[in-house]
Amino acid sequence: MSIPSANHFTATLMWFRRDLRAQDNAALSQALQRSDSIHGVFVFDKPILDPLPRQDRRVEFIRESLVDLDQQLQKLSGQAAGGLIVMVGDALDIIPQLAKKLGVVAVFTNHDDEPDALARDAKVRGGLANIGVGFYTYKDHVIFERAEVLTQNRQPYGVFTPYKNTWLKYVQESDLAPHPIDAFAKKLATRPTAFQKQVPTLKEIGFEKTNLDQLQIPCGSQGAKKLFNEFLKRMSRYEETRNFPAVKGPSYLSVHLRFGTISIRQLARAAHASHMLCDEGAQTWLSELIWRDFYHQILFHHPHVVSGAFKREYNSIVWEHGKIAEKLFNAWCEGKTGYPLIDASMMQINQTGYMHNRLRMVVASFLVKDLGIDWRWGEAYFAKHLNDFDLAANNGGWQWASSSGCDAQPYFRIFNPISQSEKFDAQAKFIKRYLPQLSALSDDAIHAPWLAKPIDLKAAGIELGKDYPMPIVDHATARAKTLERYAVIKKNK
């Protein structure tokens, strides 16, 4: 809902969610411009938190980023008591109750187009309406959303390339411009004395510390700024480095985009400026940012993708099931498939909560097309373990890999885990980092240890089946079985 320019409010509440920054925040900017006094709140929403393990890097990342946000708000307001209200509970109850207690007449927040979030917001809007408080939401998490980029027939795109071309045709400087904050920041209200003066500790939220510090993952807007400035120096090389997991190629900003500790407009603005100068690296990175918009509009227009295939006919595929499926899936989860690149990738996500984008595609293809496991099992595993888990992108990526989504790879395109390893980790630097037991093998042998000569395995101190598993499937046999499995799609057309 947009606010007519004539509307002005006395006291308002800014509800931070997946936008944990003060600068270039659409809803905060609107609240500041339309209000005399603004309180800021973040709710650790128990319906979201309760199912999570008590050690969850994302919760710790959020908590540390809130400390940063609290400091930003204090600095902007010019008063130490001008920080963030942080509460733990059910947002459905807390937001209307807080609005009433503070005496605000409107609540401002940014869009969240995930189905559960939309349902939650509808209920919050109703609860606020019951006490005479308005609820206003804004686009902030993407450049273009919902129905802003459509086909000539006014339909949402289902194929990326024409979507991207239209996106590039539509985008203007105004779409990438930052939302003003500083000029209105003195309207940030003093935090009421009834509320905790500091962001709650992890223990107070009901969680425990993780290895976030050891991984040296920078949190908050200051951490995002540091990563972004570092990436700008090598953005022009992004196209040539992005596919190699042992090389510093990615921006590593995905978790910051997920939780909004950096503005998508700031990133797209930098990428678009260099894109216009024909910088190949910037063009590729901008394309990745556009993919993000694309998947978000797919989720908004086609919420059935949350539980099934975008291409509904792919729901007829019969996946492996029972104890065999569970055994194969567990081997994949634990990094014990016998394929080093797959296993190293799974070790990476299990130990760090991060996985390189090329590897996400490779391990997804392996689970679905080598092991015959339902893509939704892998999607759920990533959702549990990825620091940067985003429903739209995660779902889109898994459906792409399983050939069941929009603009997905053809079902007969099946990544060979050995050739992918040889091509993108030729010297096995990545493999050796996460599978040190294979480090003594030569670069030629390490990609497929079961094909190595017995004398070489012995020299490396490796006994297959003991120090490292034998392959749980034969790729060539699995490929043939996958083609047969997917044949049902052709029959049903």
In 3D space, the residue among 325, 324, 353, 356 whose CA is nearest the CA of residue 342 turns out to be 356
Least trusted range by pLDDT, from 187-191, 274-278, 280-284, 373-377: 274-278
CA R_g for the chain: 24
Phi, psi of 396 (to 5 degrees): -60, -40
Over residues 156-160, mean pLDDT: 95
Whole-number pLDDT of residue 196? 74
Per DSSP, the residues of 162-211 read HHHHHHHHH--HHHHSPPP-GGGGGGBPPPPTTS-SSPPPHHHHT----S
Query: Does residue 328 have a pLDDT over 80?
Result: yes
Percent of the chain with pLDDT over 90: 91
Whole-number pLDDT of residue 493? 57
The answer to whether residues 210 and 102 touch, using CB atoms and an 8 Å cutoff, is no
Whole-number pLDDT of residue 2? 41
| CA torsion through residues 298, 304, 310, 311, sign | negative
Distances (CA, A) of 227 to 22, 34, 262, 273, 354: 18, 33, 10, 19, 15
The residues that are catalytic are 288, 291, 319, 357, 375, 398
Beta strands at 134-138 and 106-110: parallel, antiparallel or unpaired: parallel
* Residue 125 structure tokens: 């809007």
pLDDT digits (tens, 9 = 90+) for 162-194: 999 999 999 999 999 999 999 999 999 988 888
pLDDT digits (tens, 9 = 90+) for 49-107: 999 999 999 999 999 999 999 999 999 988 766 789 999 999 999 999 999 999 999 99
Query: Does residue 441 have a pLDDT over 50?
Result: yes
Q: Please tell me the number of Cα atoms within 13 Å of 309 on its side-chain side.
A: 18
Whole-number pLDDT of residue 451? 96
The answer to whether residues 24 and 179 touch, using CB atoms and an 8 Å cutoff, is yes
Whole-number pLDDT of residue 88? 96
Whole-number pLDDT of residue 408? 67
Over residues 237-249, mean pLDDT: 97
Query: Does residue 5 have a pLDDT over 50?
Result: no
pLDDT digits (tens, 9 = 90+) for 22-55: 999 999 999 999 999 999 999 999 999 999 999 9
The answer to whether residues 163 and 291 touch, using CB atoms and an 8 Å cutoff, is no
Question: In the chain, what are the domains?
Answer: 9-140 (3.40.50.620), 142-177+221-301 (1.25.40.80), 312-492 (1.10.579.10)
Over residues 276-291, mean pLDDT: 94
The answer to whether residues 154 and 255 touch, using CB atoms and an 8 Å cutoff, is no
Mean model confidence pLDDT for the chain: 95
Whole-number pLDDT of residue 143? 98
Whole-number pLDDT of residue 4? 40
Band of the pLDDT at 341, cuts 50, 70, 90? very high
Percent of the chain with pLDDT over 70: 97
In this structure, what is the dihedral angle of CA atoms 220, 221, 223, 229, given to the nearest 10 degrees?
Answer: 160
